[in-house]
Amino acid sequence: MVDKPRARKLADRIKVIVAQMLDTRIKDPRLGFVTITDVRVTGDLQNASVFYTVYGNDEERAGTAAALESAKGIIRSEVGKQTGIRLTPTLEFHLDSVPDTAAHLDVALHEAARRDAELAALREKATYAGDADPYKKPADDAAEADGSADSDEVAPA
């Protein structure tokens, strides 16, 4: 069976090791401003997916992806040394799409707020199409009961 807490602990440890390696030992000029956001380890502890973000444009992201791919062996051997497990997991680097999704949601929320403000401004200027209150009031019911009976009603004999 799979020990889920063990996989989580290994993922946390791999995240720290990879971040330290990128900060101190990997000196590739293509490597941009990288942040390791998450690591997910499979249940059998054989594969680790490392998610990262890069500050910059698409060109810097492509360069960072190439730098990480070339440094994958060094990083994996350091992960094996520092974790001490029997089989070192293979590493796969994935560009994390969470910041792009968050930026897209932020734009959508700002657009919704702008539209709400427009509707509120239109609502302030709006007037009723007919009477301000088209519904019957209790005073109208009392007036009808007093003297204005319909002619269709038949009085009991």
Judgement on whether residues 110 and 42 belong to the same structural domain of the protein? no
Residue 33 falls within a domain, yes or no? yes
The string of pLDDT tens digits covering residues 93-128 is 998 877 778 888 999 999 999 999 999 988 888 877
User: Rounded to 5 degrees, what are φ and ψ at 94?
Assistant: -130, 135
The string of pLDDT tens digits covering residues 17-40 is 999 988 888 888 888 788 899 999
Judgement on whether residues 23 and 80 belong to the same structural domain of the protein? yes
Give the separation between CA 83 and CA 81, rounded to whole angstroms.
6
Judgement on whether residues 75 and 112 belong to the same structural domain of the protein? no
47-55: strand order across its sheet: 33-41, 47-55, 90-95
* pTM of the full structure: 0.64
Judgement on whether residues 53 and 108 belong to the same structural domain of the protein? no
Instruction: Tell me the sheet residues that pair with 52.
Output: 36, 95
